[in-house]
Structure 1
Amino acid sequence: MLTVPVRQLGESERRAVERLLDLDPYAGAQVAERIAARGLAWWRAEGRILGYGARRNLESLCWLGGNLTPVLATEPAVAAFADLLAGEERLCSSIVGRADAVLGLWDQLADVWGPARDVRPNQPLLATEALPAVPADPEVRRVRGGDIDRLFPAAVAMYTEEVGVSPLAEDGGRSYRRRVSELVRAGRAYARFADGRVIFKAELAVVTRRTAQIQGVWVAPEWRGRGIATAAMAAVVRDALLRVAPTVSLYVNDFNLPARRVYERCGFRPVGTLATVLF
């Protein structure tokens, strides 16, 4: 067994945590958003943040809540985090972060936390700070409160297609609808409607002072192949850059070539590779 130089971090180390998160603003965006909103006290944060390294030399982080997210996790940090976590029951629904750290954690945790429902080892992480050169679709707009009943079925379809399970399964969709509603109220959900139905949607699922991270991109099946996605994404990126954050980021499955072409046309560039383990 390793002598584990890992400890749970508290509010007194917030400055050191924020310094590390600033070094990886895209892969660590979800953790940065949670800490900015709730701090490091476990009873407020709905999760724990673990640190690796001496108190005066914090080197790596690992968020443990609904998902497990390593940040700037070196090989020794991955080994230390895995050694600690192997003694705990798995409560997270996924492991997501930089590919080397996620796959390193999974290699050491698979025997005790497995099996996984899916492992996605190569998810390009992309970002842009430039307004798209392609025209934006003027019919894409921020979703309003009165649109939620129309947006929700599209959100469920996207989630089921992307994750492989329905968000309605656990509690009839109440928590997922609450999350969708929160994004709408915050002005972070976008859609294009046709004949009263959503034909394109996307959300700024994570927002920090460094980036707005797009997730939930979806085109209705009958509209795919018609060339609407590039202009629709350009509208989202343009609004996010002008109104929300200095950069826009996202990650995509490596095998989703049509989506990757859309993002390239909208000006996104590679800034790393993520991996996801789904349970």
Structure 2
Amino acid sequence: MDTESTEKSQRGIQSVEVGSEILLALTYSDSPMPLKEVARVTGMPPAKLFPYLVSLIKLQLVQRVEPSGDYAPGPLALRLGLYGLQRLNPLREAEADVLALASKTGQSVFLTTWGPNGPVVVRQEDPSYPLHLTLRVGTIMSLVNTATGRLFGAHMPEPLVRKALDDEGIRLSGATDLKSADKARLFKEYQQIREEGMTRTAGQPLPGVNAIAAPVFMFNGTIALAITLVGPAGTFDTRWDGELARTLSQTTTDLSYRLGYKAMQDSEA
């Protein structure tokens, strides 16, 4: 093999890569950006940055907004974004992540979405060792007693969750006869889940089984999916700073990013 020619074929165009950094900076802003701000975010001197902006404007990837003259994504960038949104399929996008998580963690992985009767399992990937669970594709998860269901309870619109709680008894390990005080306590727990970013169960509702669930968000901030790791309590670490939680969190963050969600990047800007 000609390693020299292979290396050359993999070498990128620096100006294109610089242009992508500029576009990335503009997409992370909620409003048009002045030249000095774009320079600050990209780390480029304004004199070096300006010619790139001129070229990107000619390509309709960037536009100047009058009367301020600030910079924003252009018509072609917006068309490309709309094209991407039309092709988004969270379940298809998550397929490789589910397989990778099962291989890397050695745990069962469940993919769940919101269905007509609440959170429903739509994908399951099991480890090589046997783990006897009542979970399977089509299982509807409790909004009260399961990690996956509680995650959806925390992120779905509250009126929809309150209505769904009226039918909680039909779900796996569903609670019955929920009182007003029970629901009030539950919604406080939902708030804590939103703050922590994930949820977990240890030895309940299934004895000897632990679980950690994390959300996958769409571009508009709504929850699209939950990915849940499930395994035997004796070997399953539920600590937030443990390897399983960190691996799951990184996976769902990356997947959310691919679906257009950018809350994490905005908070770091």
Per the normalisation by structure 2, the TM-score is 0.25
Instruction: Identify the structure with the greater helix proportion.
Output: 2
